[in-house]
Structure 1
Amino acid sequence: MTSLTPSFRTRLARWASLGQAVLLACGALAATAPAAFAQTAYPAKPVTLVVPGPPGGITDQLGRLVAARMTSDYGIRVIVDNRPGAGGNLASEVVARAEPDGYTVLLGTQGTMASNQFLYRSLRFDPARDFVAAHGLIAVPNVLVVNGKLPYQTVRDLVTYAKGHPGKLSVSSAGNGTGSHLAAELFQTLAGVKFVHIPYKGSAPSINDLLSGQVDLTFDYPTSTLAQIQAGKLRALAVTGATRLPALPQVPTIAEAGYPGAESTSWIGLFFPARTQAAVVAKWQADVTRLLKDPAVVEAIHRMGGVPLPLGGEAFAGFVRAERTKWKATIERAGATID
């Protein structure tokens, strides 16, 4: 074997020292890796929850409830950002264009995610392409109500009269393309009747004219009608959800009244920008699943006139796809447009 020269032995010693230094550095890095991961674990900064409505409404109330609970659970602020306008389309566009890093979440609605694309001639986002459906939160049915002085005691009574007197009954709504309008259109199709549609700019004027007898019936939210029902000024004939409402246990569902295909709800859920990491979406899904089992949260949802919508992941995504199909057909039959 050839003996090592002094210069080669010197270089070898340096390489050994360098290797030892590298090993030590790697060991130090490995030791600090868990701490580094913990520092960057999601969420590491405030999360913005974009709400497609002004302060005070059901959407805002629900958004603030979710934000408060998630802030408490995460120890990181979840901030409500109200973005009203264009039926929720402005808020949806903000989130569609946001970085898909998990720090911008949309409180999506039946309008923004299912029906608006068929009501507006053009949207600057695609509900199916630009979002990931994370989890449902609430389903709010409409209540079919008539003026308390009218003789109809059941949905069958109403339908019988409407079939014998086409175009004689008027139905009010909170506006073209709103949940109250679409619920009425769906019911008319299934029941084979035709009402005269009177759109208003919101629920309040619609209910006021129903109370005064200017219109005959409407499909509106429990929060808009409950007090008048309890006072006997309006008569509730059915709720359009799949189950009876805790606040109106004596009022049948529209299916129980004989028209199962006329079920409809205005629902709200959580949506992330497309391409958001699956792990982030899964974390929210798990956390919201637990949230909707909390009795205090369930009670708050009941006070809003709704019921929990405990669908997450693909179950929620499938629900949203089915809603798009249903409302597309309803809107095309009605010829409803907004712009």
Structure 2
Amino acid sequence: MTPRTPLIPTLAARASAGVRALLLTCGALALAAPAALAVNAYPSRPVTLVVPGPPGGITDQLGRLVAASDHGVRVVVDNRPGAGGNLATELVARAEPDGYTVLMGTQGTMASNQFLYKSLRFDPARDFVAAHGLVSIPNLLVVNGKLPYQSVRELVAYAKGHPGKLTVSSAGNGTGSHLAGELFQTLAGVKFVHVPYKGSAPSINDLLAGQVDLTFDYPASTLTQVQAGKLRALAVTGASRLPALPQVPTIAEAGYPGAESTSWIGLFFPARTPAPVVAKWQAAVTRVLKDPAAVEAIHRMGGVPLALSGDAFGDFVRAERTKWKTTIERAGATLD
């Protein structure tokens, strides 16, 4: 005869299991309570906004615009230039995910650098939360004003008939101006000789002097010279024409829709930052990008507001990674 299991011990065991579960739950709640209170009290001290560039640059200007906006958060801008923005990005990737360290992420730091540098100590996809877009800045395809090309098609026709004859300058290997040029060459089926410089200023100076033939660079770097007639703008690489140059077609209107490219900037938090904290910033940035004064400032930078938040911004960043991975692999570009 099989012995019967005593009823009282079974109930006791079940009670013990229930008590243990209750204690574990209470413990978890006790640990979660301070975190919840911290989120509700956020921000209780200044937030550090890390900018991967020097003072005065477009990323810095935009960061200070965000910092100065009336959104109830005291923001301290921390400029960390170097290594294509990787130093700043690694700093934020390793920061405490409490909402008090935020990154001004760029096309480079969040989309293309991981394919240019082989030894990054952070993973843009794994280590960050894409919170909100801020600005999208197209490049201008410009040539020296003394050259005869009046359109993109004329430029391409000459380049196809004279492979390797035209020189294209950039602000440096792996920069937005370099990658925009590589993308265009791939789509147009032409080959320019790339001449990298250490920044936009020397690149534009040599273009004005006739030492190089063309470049893809920000309107902030080229617009004044275009308006003076010293450079000729053939196309805008963004999706829409620039208000300052309404006569200049987009690259798609010029016949190369796949060559659209922009440099963009957005806010990123360390992974595991509490969702309510990120949501507070998303709401704040949405308000900033609806402020006419902020929009006017962005237009003066040659950009347009990048009003994408949450999942929509995350999808945009992932698509950018795919595009620039392909472009960089085709170009064989590397910075290590």
* TM-score bracket, shorter-length normalisation: 0.7 to 0.9
> Where in structure 1 are there 5+ consecutive unaligned residues?
1-32
From 141, 144, 147, the counterpart of 1:147: 144
Residue in 1 aligned with 2:52?
Answer: 52
TM-score, with normalisation over the residues of structure 2?
0.88
CA deviation vs aligned residue, 1:102-152 (integer Å, no higher than 9, x gap): 111000000000000011111010000000000000011100000001110
Residue in 1 aligned with 2:205?
Answer: 208
Q: Which amino acid aligns with 1:259?
A: Y
Aligned pair 1:321/2:318, yes or no?
Answer: yes
Number of residue equivalences: 302
CA deviation vs aligned residue, 1:136-177 (integer Å, no higher than 9, x gap): 000111000000011100101101111111111110111110
DSSP-derived class of the 1:107 partner: strand
Aligned pair 1:104/2:101, yes or no?
Answer: yes
Q: Which amino acid aligns with 2:71?
A: D
CA deviation vs aligned residue, 1:216-264 (integer Å, no higher than 9, x gap): 1000110110111011000000010011112211111101111000000
Q: For 1:198 and 1:210, how far apart are their aligned partners in 2?
A: 11
CA deviation vs aligned residue, 1:262-288 (integer Å, no higher than 9, x gap): 000000000000000011111111111
CA deviation vs aligned residue, 1:2-23 (integer Å, no higher than 9, x gap): xxxxxxxxxxxxxxxxxxxxxx
Is residue 39–residue 274 contact of structure 2 (8 Å, CA) maintained in 1?
Answer: no
Q: For 1:158 and 1:197, how far apart are their aligned partners in 2?
A: 16
CA deviation vs aligned residue, 1:276-321 (integer Å, no higher than 9, x gap): 0011111111111121111110000001111110000000000000
Q: For 1:224 and 1:173, how far apart are their aligned partners in 2?
A: 12
Q: Which amino acid aligns with 2:51?
A: V
Q: For 1:225 and 1:83, how far apart are their aligned partners in 2?
A: 26
Q: For 1:186 and 1:89, how far apart are their aligned partners in 2?
A: 23
Residue in 2 aligned with 1:15?
Answer: none
Q: For 2:325 and 2:160, how far apart are their aligned partners in 1?
A: 26
Residue in 1 aligned with 2:260?
Answer: 263
Residue in 1 aligned with 2:302?
Answer: 305
Give 1:36-51 correspondences, 5 Å limit.
41-51=41-51
DSSP-derived class of the 2:278 partner: helix
Give 1:276-291 correspondences, 5 Å limit.
276-291=273-288
Q: Which amino acid aligns with 1:187?
A: F
Residue in 2 aligned with 1:295?
Answer: 292
Q: For 1:39 and 1:82, how far apart are their aligned partners in 2?
A: 26
Give 1:177-188 correspondences, 5 Å limit.
177-188=174-185
Q: Which amino acid aligns with 2:68?
A: A
- List structure 1 runs of 4+ shifted beyond 2 angstroms: 36-40
Aligned pair 1:235/2:245, yes or no?
Answer: no
Q: Which amino acid aligns with 2:318?
A: R
Taking structure 1 as reference, are residues 161 and 295 closer, same or farther at Cα in structure 2, changes over 3 Å only?
Answer: same
CA deviation vs aligned residue, 1:165-214 (integer Å, no higher than 9, x gap): 11111101111101000000000000011101111111111111111111
Q: For 1:135 and 1:245, how far apart are their aligned partners in 2?
A: 23
Is residue 236–residue 242 contact of structure 2 (8 Å, CA) maintained in 1?
Answer: yes
DSSP-derived class of the 2:142 partner: strand
From 38, 58, 71, the counterpart of 1:73: 71
From 188, 206, 230, the counterpart of 1:191: 188
Q: For 1:201 and 1:40, how far apart are their aligned partners in 2?
A: 46
DSSP-derived class of the 1:89 partner: helix
Give 1:82-161 correspondences, 5 Å limit.
82-161=79-158
From 248, 251, 269, the counterpart of 2:248: 251
> Where in structure 2 are there 5+ consecutive unaligned residues?
1-32
Shift in Å, 1:73: 2.2
Q: Which amino acid aligns with 1:273?
A: P
Q: For 1:205 and 1:251, how far apart are their aligned partners in 2?
A: 24
Return the index of the structure with the highest Cα Rg: 1
Taking structure 1 as reference, are residues 286 and 152 closer, same or farther at Cα in structure 2, changes over 3 Å only?
Answer: same
Shift in Å, 1:41: 1.7
TM-score, with normalisation over the residues of structure 1?
0.87
Taking structure 1 as reference, are residues 165 and 38 closer, same or farther at Cα in structure 2, changes over 3 Å only?
Answer: closer
Q: For 1:276 and 1:205, how far apart are their aligned partners in 2?
A: 40
Q: For 1:105 and 1:294, how far apart are their aligned partners in 2?
A: 21
Q: Using the aligned pairs only, state the percent identity.
A: 86
Q: For 2:71 and 2:49, how far apart are their aligned partners in 1?
A: 15
Is residue 51–residue 59 contact of structure 2 (8 Å, CA) maintained in 1?
Answer: yes
Q: Comparing 247-256 with 126-135, which one deviates more in the overlay?
A: 247-256
